[in-house]
Structure 1
Amino acid sequence: MKKLLIASLLLCLTSCATITNSRTYPLKVNTNTQNASVKVHDSVYKLPTEVEVKRSNKPLKVTLTYDTITRDYTIKSKLMSKSSLDNIIFLGLYPEALLVDILTKKGYYYGDELFLDIYDSLPEVKRIVSGKKYIANEKNSFNVDISVPYANIFLLQPESEGVKKGAGFFGLTLGAEYFYKKNKYVKLNIGAISNFPIPFPVPLINDGEVETLVSLYSTFTDNYQLNRFSLGYGISYSFYRWDYDFGDDNYTNQKDKSVKGHGIGLSFNTYYRVGKCFHIGFVYNSTFVSIYPQTELLYQHTISFDLLWKIQI
């Protein structure tokens, strides 16, 4: 327990941005006029250029000079959405980790590119281009999917053990999508989920009884996409495993239990796109026909809150 508390404290005092980000980063600067220069942090650069800027929660002042004209711009700082998502996914400590990003200022930035428009009537307005824009999929295009089923709910019926319900965290899935129409695609997916008891990955030492629920599955779905939303339906083949460990305090010397099962059923998913390639949603996988340890009608299911990345090819 002491080791667990120490590990939890260390995680609370760190964040993805604090670990991976430096205090400065390169900012690309350009404009829509010839023979122009920009002044940043008392240094003058000929455009287009790349300027090393310091992360801060304060606005960045830049001065554009072209011909005999000088224009001042103010670029507002903001928290990186990437660091916030990483904190949610990998640490499960978003409020604490985000506070670290704010205090260290490593979670702030001014965007990836800055375009100074000389025709802008409001030069005080920021002009930020943060990475590539989302590109809609075309017919015959492909995506590779990677997701983290962050929170999972189980309803299993291991043989001779009755109904077992549980919930927990973490998993991993890999998938491939093929768009046979601009807004319709088929998806093949394989994944694994568990009922890990706490929402951040640290080693656990359990002296008492522990119940473990695990599902490995493959799904094939037909999916419809409408703007930021998508909805999919199809078939699933799932492998379930239920384990019960009586722990070190097993004074009655009861034997640990482990029951496996395979089944066929249906799969449904729904997602909402919140970034260029990041989606959040829910996945429901069920089995209605048990294949192993015996063939019978048997209902089981899992429901996952999923964090998904789609990589366009």
Structure 2
Amino acid sequence: MKLQEKILIAARETISIEAKAIANLEHLIDNEFVEAVEKIYNSKGRVVVTGIGKSAIIASKIVATLNSTGTPAIFMHAADAIHGDLGNIQKDDVVICISKSGNSPEIKVLVPFIKDFKNPLIGITGDKNSFLGKEADFVLNSYVEKEACPNNLAPTTSTTAQMVLGDALAIALVNLKGFSRKDFAKYHPGGSLGKKLYLRVSDITAQNQKPIVSPDTSVTDAIIEISEKMLGVTAVLENDKIIGIITDGDIRRMLKKSTDFKDLTARDIMSVNPKTINQDTLAVEALDMLEENKISQLLAVENGNYAGVVHIHNLIREGIL
């Protein structure tokens, strides 16, 4: 067997094994999952997520997901917990403990202390009959038939299952809280994701010049205005109201008909009823309009008045596209 073929077989088999295990989780979700979500939802404290080894790494990811979706959470390493970090657990906190076997030595030491604190304990384990499974107030079953590792040793499928259950918890809480796009934007102000959630048309138009001509402006002057403002377009205004638009495309179509345009005005070549968008609209919605109408520019308006231009290049530069 060729090396390339062996690699492809291993990769596809890994994906297949993990996909089947994740699909099976749907059948393992029961009333304890519901009760665990309700306990977190009604809690006045945070969610403390703990684990050992690879499960600790998954715990960190679950904490990040919870925090980013409006549920305050902190990570506590199970080994560090019994050496002082138990002080992180406060009175109203809910603790999630993650362990594939549910019988790790560190877990067996840690769990009784958590129980002594009287904090609700949610266990994520692949064995409901394990130490963790029996001691937890709520058990989320992360059972998998086998690891993707050919020796059935390296945590692969099991850690994927743990992470998916963590995602399921977080999204269930999102739904209960009615966590909106606006809420999400508060926690993700950076990067292209944040910009999609908070960047508005007004933020774009503020960066651009504002090309304007009147309907009686000569085509020559309209071309100069388009060129100088570098947006490939100009609005045509009459009595301060938009009555048309002239784009590079309009100029090209005019030149196909005739190169003699010395007597033509903006009114003669403009397109009427141009697409407009409100200044307070999200920039990502401007992108949707551009793509839907297969155009490169939109005229922005504020209270019905011309406010500027949004060009698709603006959105590309901002990382929206």
Q: Same fold (TM over 0.5)?
A: no
Q: Who wins on radius of gyration, i.e. which is larger?
A: 2
**TM-score, length of structure 1 as denominator length:** 0.24
Normalised to the residue count of structure 2, the TM-score between the two structures is 0.24
Structure having the larger proportion of residues in strand: 1
